[in-house]
């Protein structure tokens, strides 16, 4: 029987329009599969690379409790990475292949992790702003058309909510503290505010993938809509604890019931995406070193398992 691609594509779109989720064994256009692998693997890589800037402060956390919470948080991220890699494998790509794409620079990860963590308040700012932005993104993705991705997001969002709260609590605590602590907080927010806004991607007029992804309900809201949602919910939180958002143009618009904000530095955005952010090279080196240094361990585990199998068979 001749396969009618056009008919398959029509049925596929009809399913999506009817809100039926696509599962790994369902037929899907190659381009849909490709886009999901790109997005999901990028997401998994972001979780793993995202361990580095926070891992940077584990040995220097200022109290035993803070150290425990930070360790647990970074561990959660590793778990998210593992979970999303598995969900992505349902699309027919192996974790090894994905990791190889990351290590060779073929696959991307969220640019936010190319910014350094320079003082302890950065742990708070990352939890509050970076995880806060991730939650806005991921809450939307939890309704996306690909079942395994949507379900992964649902589960991950629960933990991210906890991360965001603990980040905010770090900052709120410090804002009640000494002058030096308040300065650390403001310094951290000054550095992380704009990069957090950039996490939603280019503005709608410059977003090349958007139309197709929206038709497939991989994306349900535009970059600018999500960015707006994030700003609207975050600014009052900043005000509540006395943090100043580093944007002179930021103001509440009574008519639209939304905040207006200044222009993002898109040159910086594209520079970081292009590999020229403050930590791009360092992050890639850290991932590559970990992989290289772990090579003999992975080989030993495989050799050992094979020996055991042989012994059992004999």
Partner 1 sequence: MNKDLFEYTLRLGDTSLILSQRLGEWCGHGPMLEEDIALTNIALDLLGQAKAFLAYAGEIEGKGRNEDVLAFHRDANHFRNLLLTEQPNVDFGFTIIRQLFVSTWQHYLYSELTHATDKNMSALAVKSLKEVNYHLRFASDWTLRLGDGTEESHQRVQAAVNELWNYTGDLFEIDQVDEALLKLGIAADMKKVEASWNKHIRQVLNDATLSVPEINNFMRTGSRKGVHTEYLGFILAEMQFLPRAYPDAKW
Chain positions contacting partner 1, by CB under 8 A: 48, 51-52, 55, 58-68, 71-72, 74-75, 78-79, 81-82, 85, 120, 170, 173-174, 176-178, 180-181, 286, 289-290, 293-301, 303-304, 307
Shortest distance, position 199 Cβ to partner 1, whole Å = 20
4 Cβ contact partners less than 8 Å away, ≥ 6 residues apart: none
Which CB sits closer to partner 1, 28 or 51?
51
Which CB sits closer to partner 1, 35 or 46?
46
Shortest distance, position 271 Cβ to partner 1, whole Å = 25
295 Cβ contact partners less than 8 Å away, ≥ 6 residues apart: none
Q: Take residue 261 and report the two structure tokens written for it.
A: 């904000």
Which CB sits closer to partner 1, 83 or 270?
83
Longest distance between any two alpha carbons in the chain, whole Å: 79
3-state secondary structure 40-100: HHHHHHHHHHCHHHHHCCHHHCCCHHHHHHHHHHHHHHHHHHHHHHHHHHCCCCCHHHHHH
Which CB sits closer to partner 1, 184 or 218?
184
Which CB sits closer to partner 1, 54 or 247?
54
Shortest distance, position 23 Cβ to partner 1, whole Å = 25
Which CB sits closer to partner 1, 48 or 197?
48
Shortest distance, position 144 Cβ to partner 1, whole Å = 24
Phi, psi of 258 (to 5 degrees): -135, 160
Q: Take residue 25 and report the two structure tokens written for it.
A: 């064994």
Distance CA 39, CA 37 (A): 6
Name residue, tokens 């956390």: 61
Name residue, tokens 């320079």: 118
Shortest distance, position 45 Cβ to partner 1, whole Å = 11
Q: Take residue 241 and report the two structure tokens written for it.
A: 């604890």
Shortest distance, position 120 Cβ to partner 1, whole Å = 6
């Amino acid at each position: 029987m001749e396969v009618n691609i056009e008919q398959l594509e029509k049925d596929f779109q009809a399913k999506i329009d009817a809100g039926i989720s696509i599962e790994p064994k369902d037929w899907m256009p190659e381009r849909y599969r490709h886009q999901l692998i790109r997005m999901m693997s990028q997401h998994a890589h972001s979780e793993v690379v995202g361990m580095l800037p926070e891992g940077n402060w584990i040995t220097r956390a200022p109290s035993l409790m803070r150290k425990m919470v930070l360790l647990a948080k970074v561990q959660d991220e590793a778990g998210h990475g593992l979970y999303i890699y598995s969900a992505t494998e349902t699309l027919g790509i192996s974790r090894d292949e994905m990791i190889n794409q990351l290590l060779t620079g073929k696959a991307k990860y969220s640019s936010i992790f190319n910014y350094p963590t320079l003082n302890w308040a950065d742990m708070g700012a990352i939890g509050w702003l970076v995880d806060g932005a991730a939650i806005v993104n991921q809450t939307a993705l939890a309704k996306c058309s690909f079942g395994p991705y949507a379900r992964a997001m649902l589960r991950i969002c629960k933990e991210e909510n906890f991360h965001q709260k603990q980040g905010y609590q770090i900052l709120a605590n410090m804002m009640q503290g000494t002058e030096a602590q308040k300065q650390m907080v403001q310094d951290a927010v000054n550095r992380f505010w704009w990069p957090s806004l950039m996490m939603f991607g280019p503005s709608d007029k410059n977003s090349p993938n958007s139309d197709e992804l929206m038709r497939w309900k991989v994306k349900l809201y535009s970059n600018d809509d999500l960015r707006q949602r994030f700003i609207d919910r975050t600014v009052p939180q900043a005000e509540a604890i006395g943090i100043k958002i580093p944007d002179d143009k930021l103001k509440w618009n009574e008519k639209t019931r939304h905040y207006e904000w200044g222009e993002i530095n898109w040159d910086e955005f594209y520079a970081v995406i292009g590999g020229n952010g403050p930590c791009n090279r360092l992050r890639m080196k850290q991932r590559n070193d970990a992989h290289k240094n772990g090579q003999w361990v992975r080989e030993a585990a495989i050799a050992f398992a094979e020996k055991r199998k042989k012994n059992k068979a004999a």
